[in-house]
Amino acid sequence: MLTKLFRLKYLFASNLVFVGWISCFLVSRVEADQSISLGQIPQVPIYFINPKPPDNGTPSAPHGTGTRGDCLYKSELPLLTPLVGGYNLDLTVSDYPTFWIYIPYTSEDAPSGEFSLQDEDGENDLYRKSFKLPDQPGIVSITLPKTE
């Protein structure tokens, strides 16, 4: 019985020494690999060519394109303006994107606004939401919910 216990202790100690020795070797190897300077790493140029926007009737520039239905129109105010990048591709990397819109009206002009996201034909609503207009003209954000 004593011999079995001695063997187990010896085996455990031997394994511990072996693992420690391997660990030291691996740490020194990692440190040696990190000593390479950035000047020795070959640099590869990355190119990105902006795709041409599709010619499907989308506005060519981010200008006022929203509609007001039969609500108040003030010609001296800017139009409803979606805030988008240089190319209006109607694409997003997010499953539930946030839309940013400049609204020139206040809650004094109209108590609420309505956002609708429609299919390509403009016939079916994919999402519709009413919201309270801000106290001052400004930017409103609308995020598509995960439940829709």
pLDDT of residue 58: 47
* Token pair listed for 64: 């006022």
Lowest mean pLDDT among 34-38, 113-117, 126-130: 34-38
CA 31, CA 23: separation in Å to the nearest integer?
12
Residues 72-122 have pLDDT tens digits of: 555 566 666 666 666 655 677 788 888 888 888 888 888 888 888 888 777
- Number of domains the chain is built from: 1
pLDDT of residue 103: 83
Predicted TM-score (pTM) of this structure: 0.46
For residues 75 and 33, the model is more confident at 75
pLDDT of residue 94: 83
b/e map 131-141, b = 16+ CB within 10 Å: eebeeeeeebe
Q: What is the CA radius of gyration of the chain?
A: 32
Domain ranges, residue 87: 1-148
Neighbours of 49 (CB within 10 A): 5
| pLDDT reading at 67 higher than 70 | no
pLDDT of residue 63: 47
Strand order across the 98-103 sheet: 81-82, 98-103, 138-143
| pLDDT reading at 25 higher than 80 | no
Q: Strands, DSSP E only, in 6-147?
A: 81-82, 98-103, 112-118, 125-132, 138-143
